[in-house]
Structure 1
Amino acid sequence: MQRRVRTRAIAVVSALGLTGVLGGCGLGGGSSDVTLKLVAADYGDSESNSSEKYWQDLVDRYEAEHPDVKIDVDVYSWNDVDRKVKEMVDAGEAPDLAQIGAYADYAAEGQLYKAGDLLSIPVQADFLSQLTTAGEVNSVQYGMPFASSTRVLFYNKTLFDEAGITPPKTWDELAADAEALKAEGVKYPYALPLGPEEAQAESMQWMLGGEGGYTDITGTYSIDSAANVETFGWLKSELVGKGLTGPVAPGELDRADAFEAFAAGQVGMLNGHPSLMETAKAKGVKFGMVPTPGAEGESKATLGVADWMMAFNENGHRDEIGDFLDFVYSEDNVLAFSREYNLLPVTVSASRTMAASEQDKDLKPFLDQLATSELYPVGNTSWAAVNAAVKKEIGKAVAPNGSPAGVLGGLQAAATRAEAAG
């Protein structure tokens, strides 16, 4: 198999908060009756575990059984992949398949196949229900989940033992633990990353703990709901205002920096996803993981995040695309990808296997949260604009002179405008 490789070492973050570094790697070669073009994101953090290797193996196996179909794959870093796909689509050269961070804009423009027109019934039915729903636009599934993750509360066991405290189940207990950690000189008793990198994730996790969220049960934006205003009021007065979130203002603290500080033993508690386990282990940090606290008890829901596969209809090839996707979403392939990158399976069959496997016990706390997780409103074409506004503004809600009601009200207005424009 011939290979062409283009590489740029730029570290970036996906919707899952994972880092990828490769600029672009093309996989494919030979001749065949049909060639499918797939553009995919890189989930690795070095060339040694680039997603190029995952796709190389998968394509080799598929093509061995389907000599009349060639799969040509380009793997790009998260810094480049969404832009690359957009440029291809705008130039009238859409790939057959794209595995990227968002699908709704393309679906709204009529550029995607429906999942039901591609996948066999057993494969489509195997997606976890909340991920299927998140992949829908106007109740029709276009986005096929490819990778998922949830959040739990990480805590530093050594720092907790020194402070004589136990993991919190409620916000009040979290604040009390943070006070005890501060008294012991911990730099970041609770790390609250509301900086522009991934503020939307930390914000939604706290909103869910206060029984709020970005939208209400009808899917309408409710960013300035009474529950959300109360949540950010509590954060401002009980954590930030009491100096329990460390020396960096939350609006200036990025998730990657918070994770790095946790791995350096400087953070008592923070919300994290599976990749933090490996980072902390590598630095010798003894840590525990518990469900995220809520206002009155353990949060009834945690943040779920997914990245997406989509199929463009510009080139046809519906049958070939569907057959390849059935292979991609086989249990063995889903498990192999999830295990390689410490992610959660997007299918029921692979989730059951992982839950019962000793090999995957480290991921069990995250897997346990998946069934009750809630995702961003990615089916709304307005979400990209709302997401950008949240990243830019929401840290101001907990600033010394900030107004939670004012900042959330401004974001609600921005969301309303984005909805109208879409």
Structure 2
Amino acid sequence: MSAHRTELSRRRFLGGSLLIVAGSVVTTACDTSPGADDPSGARTTLNVWYHAYGEAGAQQAALRYATAFTKAHPDTAVKVTWVPGDYTGKLNATLLTDAAPDVFEIGDFNESLARRGQIAALDDLYGSARADFNDNAIGCVTVDNKLYGVKMIDDVMVLYFRKSTLSKAGITPPTTFDELVSAARALTTKTGKGLFLGNDGLGDSPILAVRSNGADLVTDGKVAFGSPQALEALTGLKRLRDDGSLLLGFTTDWWDPSAFTQGVVPMQWCGLWAMPAVKAALGEDFGVLPWPAFKAGGSPVVRVGGWTSCVNAKGRNVDAAKRFVQWLWIQESGLQKDWAESYGFHVPPRKTVAAGADKLSAGVAKETVELAAKYGKYNPGTWDTAVSTAFTAAAAKITGGQGDPAGLLADAVRQAQTAVDKQRG
């Protein structure tokens, strides 16, 4: 998938900015300049950008955290900017101007921001806490052995299945790709389909299929999804489409659990963030699985995305911005826990915080966290829109039976390699 697109599309958007001074909200603002007027007389005003989370209470939590920071650092005002619409597009455009935020979040870390000198290295913020961050959280923000962000939340994506429906049909939850194909086919009826991966019939599945067959996407700056294993896996995905077992064109996409909770499908690829809604609708009548190994020699896969806090290296307030990021995402473990489990479910990137997240410590939520630790994979830092679009377009044609699979994939590799080379200068 394009992580930026799907992470954004699963949110409903609000908008606006709020300025926090001396621990209080004093005014609303529509502009996003870091130098907005500050009636408190604080020496520094930080502009902190969030995409407009759709989970109830998330915006209020961000404001509450900013208020707590200004109480601890009264010389620094914080303007929380809640950005509606195409967050990634707006952010990339604004980073080229004087109105660029001091601190901002990004979904699925993009290493080109570091290579272009747009974000600051943050190694000095971690200290002894570095060892407490999980391997994915460290690996995904590392560029040339430096850390260019602090992971805020891990978004874990898994395969949900309805226990009672599979049991009634005499189907064991699938642990191999062949079993997944067979289960989806058997669960497809005249009135419903067996599996929902996304309205396009793909969702994350091309990435998952490639990795479940022992292949990779991009390795050390070289596009790797042109391998025989990748081609085999992508060609295998066509079986799901040919069987007519995929739900297509639902009212919401894979990131929303409605198709699953409303009984439209008994299996759906979705995220941990949706688990509170799933449990409210189905009680204990659901389970989760990793994407199954494509065949012997492969491995199950759990997709790990999420959001990372970065500091504008060209901003006017780099030191203060670093102090804010360190305070919120490294020092204040209680706020990190709140952010992860109070507004949808997400996994705290810090191991000690995750261990203390009560809502993630039992049942299917705990199982999901354990699956992420065992099988979790994040997209490479070079997986930007140009690279992912080339890959996904080829996968769509391959699964749709449009053209020679090897030729389609080879063309996508050439396009993607050009894009990666451009990123890396």
Which interval holds the TM-score relative to the shorter structure? 0.7 to 0.9
What is the aligned residue count? 395
Residue number in structure 2 paired with 1:309: 309
Residues 60 and 206 of structure 1, relative CA distance in 2, 3 Å threshold = same
Aligned-partner Cα distance in 2 for 1:243–1:149: 30
Residue number in structure 1 paired with 2:236: 234
**Residue identity matched to 1:265:** G
Structure 2 stretches lacking a partner, 5+ long: 22-39
Residue number in structure 2 paired with 1:44: 54
**Residue identity matched to 1:83:** G
Aligned-partner Cα distance in 1 for 2:15–2:8: 19
Identity %: 22
Residues 392 and 320 of structure 1, relative CA distance in 2, 3 Å threshold = same
Aligned-partner Cα distance in 2 for 1:212–1:281: 34
Residue number in structure 2 paired with 1:388: 389
Residue number in structure 1 paired with 2:293: 294
Residue number in structure 1 paired with 2:208: 205
Q: What secondary structure, in the 3-state scheme, does the structure 2 residue paired with 1:309 have?
A: strand
Q: What secondary structure, in the 3-state scheme, does the structure 1 residue paired with 2:49 have?
A: strand
The answer to whether the Cα contact below 8 Å between 1:115 and 1:124 also exists between their aligned partners in 2 is: no
- Deviation track 1:46-102 (CA, whole Å, cap 9, x = no partner) reads xxx24321111111112112211111111123x232233233322223221111224
Residues 178 and 358 of structure 1, relative CA distance in 2, 3 Å threshold = closer
Q: 1:170 Cα shift?
A: 0.9
Q: What secondary structure, in the 3-state scheme, does the structure 1 residue paired with 2:7 have?
A: coil
**Residue identity matched to 2:65:** L
TM-score (structure 2 length as normaliser): 0.83
Residue number in structure 2 paired with 1:58: 65
**Residue identity matched to 1:189:** G
Q: Any residues of structure 2 matched to 1:310-325 within 5 Å, and which?
A: 310-325=310-325
The answer to whether the Cα contact below 8 Å between 2:397 and 2:403 also exists between their aligned partners in 1 is: yes
Q: What secondary structure, in the 3-state scheme, does the structure 2 residue paired with 1:39 have?
A: strand
Residue number in structure 2 paired with 1:191: 196
The answer to whether the Cα contact below 8 Å between 2:155 and 2:306 also exists between their aligned partners in 1 is: yes
Aligned-partner Cα distance in 2 for 1:393–1:159: 34
**Residue identity matched to 1:243:** G
Q: Any residues of structure 2 matched to 1:352-371 within 5 Å, and which?
A: 352-354=355-357, 361-371=363-373
The answer to whether the Cα contact below 8 Å between 1:386 and 1:418 also exists between their aligned partners in 2 is: yes
Residue number in structure 1 paired with 2:352: 349
**Residue identity matched to 2:116:** E
Q: What secondary structure, in the 3-state scheme, does the structure 2 residue paired with 1:326 have?
A: helix
Residues 269 and 92 of structure 1, relative CA distance in 2, 3 Å threshold = same
Aligned-partner Cα distance in 2 for 1:257–1:125: 31
Residues 258 and 314 of structure 1, relative CA distance in 2, 3 Å threshold = closer
Structure 1 stretches lacking a partner, 5+ long: 1-11
**Structure 1 stretch 362-371 or stretch 223-232: which is displaced more?**
362-371
Residue number in structure 2 paired with 1:276: 274
Q: 1:361 Cα shift?
A: 4.3
- Deviation track 1:262-300 (CA, whole Å, cap 9, x = no partner) reads 232121323221133234345448322123211237834
Q: 1:42 Cα shift?
A: 2.4
- Deviation track 1:244-269 (CA, whole Å, cap 9, x = no partner) reads 224x38xx998448843223212132
Q: What secondary structure, in the 3-state scheme, does the structure 1 residue paired with 2:236 have?
A: helix
Residues 403 and 18 of structure 1, relative CA distance in 2, 3 Å threshold = same
Residues 186 and 175 of structure 1, relative CA distance in 2, 3 Å threshold = farther
Q: 1:360 Cα shift?
A: 5.8
Q: 1:402 Cα shift?
A: 4.5
Give me the CA root mean square deviation.
2.9
Q: What secondary structure, in the 3-state scheme, does the structure 2 residue paired with 1:189 have?
A: coil
Q: What secondary structure, in the 3-state scheme, does the structure 2 residue paired with 1:387 have?
A: helix
Q: Any residues of structure 2 matched to 1:74-89 within 5 Å, and which?
A: 74-77=81-84, 79-89=85-95
1:337 to 328, 336, 339: 339
Aligned-partner Cα distance in 2 for 1:253–1:387: 24
Residues 215 and 88 of structure 1, relative CA distance in 2, 3 Å threshold = closer
